């Protein structure tokens, strides 16, 4: 366990080393947040609400989803593919650690660094813009939100790892990731709440994993999900996590059988 | 001279296209991703407008015109200046030294060293969509169309200036990747009319980083909403941006230290 803690800490230290790059990355996140934030301000400026969202709810949604996105989507799994392609994987296979555990620890280090910056950014954005926001005071809802975020973190790790392991079969590791993130950027609820979509589409998206990465946790926080909806949401999210876990282990095993490297 | 440089650009582009199509599967996926991103945001705007009818005073087809023009001005520099995205690696592995030895202007290959042929499809799509949205908006006179095209050229010059800045920063600090992506995120704010943003952000992205001038002024001119002063201001910004960026490039070149050879 201590090894993985050291890996997470090393990731933190590594990010401190490349501070300029990281700062630029965070500035980019703030710009993306401001674009979405002002769009929703503009569409609620006359009526004070849109779809089933009051202005305070939708602005809390935008800020909340940005914070949850910082936690869920900060990952290092994209380096897995490069690792396999350039043969560095061989070095890890002889080390006394689990390869997937190593990357999960890297993810955790990366997430803590991102969370600390995201908190600071959101505080500054809040102090500058002073939006009316919705504060959830129900302890149960807050706990359920945290649990939903943890499930989302694990799910994103499984999906990110699977996209990395594509490298066992193809040197093209960026294109599948690009497609995935294009889909995620719209269907995880990062730009808009999924319940503004037609009901038939909502039913389809409730069965896919995307919505459980951002939309589900934030709507629990906003108190927009019924008890039955929460139960159903957690059930589907857990089923996806179990499925992706076993799929990842299977892909890792057959990938390793295919793997070969020269000169390492 | 333009013919000679065009031939050289074409040869660079042929080379990079061959690399891009080495993995046809990857090329198709990238193209599909770009297309999906384009369509999804369009559908999202239409969904919003189904409820609000107007956003900051613009109805559906005028907003579509802003979005389509943004796509053109987002894709056009990406198509021509694609090598900027490869520049960091070219500095790190010393290839930039090789570029400087060639009998070409120092900026030519860093900027035009191979276009991404995949962007051509998105360019045609954006151009077609602009024409359709322009017709649906129904305001355009020949003068407005002329001003629109003039300001599109001006926006391209602003984009050129901003890319030269990115290259200059790349020489001084090698931080090209995040800087160019920062530029992309800033331009993403131009997917919507600049009136969406409130002060001081609106002033910042109009006059400090001229995304507003670049992305929204052409459409405003087409809709007849831009004053003569606005047009002059845009042209001054375009020319000034190019001049300052070229000076910055020269400054960066003077401080270039070959770190890899």
Is A264 within a domain? no
pLDDT of residue A254: 95
Within-domain flag for A161: yes
**DSSP for A141-153, written as a single string:** HHHHHHHHHHHHH
CA–CA separation, A76 and B188 (whole Å): 25
Q: Which residues of A touch B41 (CB under 8 A)?
A: 186, 191
ipTM: 0.86
Question: Residue B259: pLDDT band by 50, 70, 90 thresholds?
Answer: low
> Which range among A228-242, B16-30, B158-172 shows the weakest confidence by mean pLDDT?
B16-30
* pLDDT value, residue A109: 92
| Residues of chain A by 3-state class (helix, strand, coil), percent to 5 | 75, 0, 20
Give φ, ψ of A131 to 5 degrees: -75, 155
Contacts of B189 in chain A (CB under 8 A): 31, 34-35
Residue A263 inside a domain? The answer is no
Judging contacts by C-beta atoms under 8 Å, the chain A residues touching residue B47 are 192, 196-197
Per-residue pLDDT of chain A (264 residues; tens, 9 = 90+): 688 889 889 888 888 777 777 788 888 888 889 999 999 999 888 778 888 899 999 999 999 999 999 999 999 999 999 999 988 999 899 988 899 999 999 999 999 988 998 999 999 999 999 998 999 999 999 999 999 999 999 999 999 999 999 999 988 888 889 999 999 988 999 999 999 999 999 999 999 999 999 999 999 999 999 999 999 999 999 999 999 999 999 999 999 998 887 765
3 state SS of B54: strand
Binding-site residues on chain B for chain A (CB distance < 8 A): 23, 25-27, 29-30, 32-33, 36-37, 40-41, 44, 47-48, 51-52, 55-56, 173, 175, 177-179, 181-182, 185-186, 188-189, 191-192, 195-198, 201
Q: Is residue A176 part of a domain?
A: yes
Taking CA–CA distances from A197, the nearest residue in chain B reads B47
Interchain contact, A192 vs B47, CB within 8 Å: yes
B93: phi then psi, degrees, rounded to nearest 5: -90, 5
3-state secondary structure of B209: coil
Query: For the residues of B159-188, what is the DSSP string, one character each?
Result: HHHHHHHHHHHHHHH--HHHHHHHHHHHHH
Phi/psi region, residue B217 (left: phi>0; alpha: psi -120 to 50; beta: rest), is: alpha
Which domain range does residue A21 map to?
2-258
Do the beta carbons of residue A164 and residue A80 sit within 8 Å?
Answer: yes
Q: pLDDT-derived band of residue B261, with 50, 70 and 90 as boundaries? A: low
Q: Phi then psi for A54, rounded to 5 degrees?
A: -75, 170
Percent of chain B predicted with pLDDT > 90: 52
**Interatomic CA distance for residues A15 and A20, integer angstroms:** 9
What residue of A is the nearest CA neighbor of B33? A179
Q: Tokens in use for B159?
A: 């984009």
Range of A136-150, A173-187, B75-89, B123-137 with top mean pLDDT: A136-150
Segment B39-44 shows an average pLDDT of 92
Q: Sort out which chain B residues have CB atoms less than 8 A from A34's CB and list them.
A: 189, 197, 201
Rounded to whole angstroms, how far apart are CA atoms A144 and A151?
11
Contact assessment for residue B53 and residue B183, using Cβ atoms and an 8 Å cutoff: no
- Which residues of chain B have a CB within 8 Å of the CB of A20? 173, 175, 178
Number of folded domains that form chain A: 1
Measured distance CA(B196)–CA(A39) in Å, rounded: 6
Model pLDDT, residue B119: 87
Which residue, B5, B12, B25, B34, is CA-closest to B118?
A: B34
| Domain assignment present for A164 | yes
pLDDT bucket at B175, cuts 50 / 70 / 90 = confident
**Mean pLDDT in chain B?**
90
| Residue closest to A211 by CA, chosen among A72, A60, A28, A11 | A72
Q: What are phi and psi of A215, to 5 degrees?
A: -60, -45
Backbone CA torsion sign across B77, B79, B81, B83: positive
């Amino acid at each position: 366990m201590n090894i993985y803690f050291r890996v997470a800490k090393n990731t933190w230290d590594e990010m401190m080393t490349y501070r300029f790059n990281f700062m630029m990355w965070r500035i980019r996140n703030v710009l993306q947040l401001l674009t979405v934030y002002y769009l929703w301000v503009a569409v609620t400026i006359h009526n004070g609400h849109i779809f089933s969202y009051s202005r305070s709810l939708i602005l809390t949604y935008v800020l909340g989803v940005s914070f949850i996105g910082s936690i869920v989507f900060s990952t290092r799994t994209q380096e897995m593919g490069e690792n396999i392609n350039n043969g560095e994987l061989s070095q890890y296979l002889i080390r006394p650690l689990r390869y997937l555990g190593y990357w999960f620890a890297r993810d955790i280090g990366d997430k803590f660094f991102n969370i600390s910056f995201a908190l600071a950014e959101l505080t500054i954005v809040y102090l500058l813009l002073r939006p009316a926001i919705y504060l959830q005071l129900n302890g149960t809802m807050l706990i359920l939100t945290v649990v939903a975020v943890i499930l989302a973190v694990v799910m994103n790790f499984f999906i990110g790892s699977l996209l990395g392991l594509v490298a066992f079969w193809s040197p093209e590791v960026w294109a599948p990731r690009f497609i995935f993130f294009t889909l995620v950027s719209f269907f995880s609820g990062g730009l808009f709440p999924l319940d503004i979509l037609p009901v038939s589409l909502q039913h389809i998206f409730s069965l896919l994993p995307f919505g459980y990465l951002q939309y589900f946790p934030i709507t629990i926080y906003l108190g927009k999900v019924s008890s039955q909806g929460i139960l159903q949401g957690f059930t589907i999210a857990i089923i996806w996590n179990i499925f992706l876990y076993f799929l990842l282990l299977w892909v890792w095993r057959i990938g390793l059988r295919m793997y070969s490297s020269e000169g390492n | 001279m333009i013919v000679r440089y065009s031939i050289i650009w074409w040869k660079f582009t042929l080379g990079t296209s061959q690399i891009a199509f080495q993995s046809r599967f990857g090329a198709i996926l990238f193209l599909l991703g770009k297309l999906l991103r384009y369509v999804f945001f369009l559908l999202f705007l239409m969904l919003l407008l189904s409820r609000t009818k107007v956003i900051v005073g613009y109805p559906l087809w005028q907003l579509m015109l802003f979005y389509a023009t943004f796509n053109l001005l987002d894709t056009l520099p990406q198509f021509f200046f694609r090598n900027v995205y490869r520049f960091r690696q070219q500095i790190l592995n010393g290839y930039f030294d090789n570029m400087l030895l060639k009998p070409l202007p120092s900026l030519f290959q860093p900027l035009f060293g191979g276009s991404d042929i995949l962007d051509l499809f998105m360019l045609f799509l954006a151009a077609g969509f602009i024409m359709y949205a322009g017709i649906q908006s129904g305001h355009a006179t020949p003068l407005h169309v002329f001003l629109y095209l003039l300001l599109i050229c001006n926006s391209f010059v602003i984009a050129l200036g901003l890319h030269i800045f990115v290259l200059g920063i790349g020489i001084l600090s090698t931080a090209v990747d995040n800087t160019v992506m920062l530029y992309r995120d800033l331009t993403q704010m131009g997917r919507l009319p600049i009136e969406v943003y409130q002060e001081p952000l609106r002033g910042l992205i109009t006059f400090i980083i001229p995304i507003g001038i670049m992305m929204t002024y052409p459409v405003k001119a087409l809709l007849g909403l831009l004053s003569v002063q606005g047009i002059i201001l845009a042209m001054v910004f375009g020319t000034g941006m190019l001049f300052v960026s070229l000076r910055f490039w020269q400054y960066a070149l003077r401080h270039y230290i070959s770190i890899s050879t």
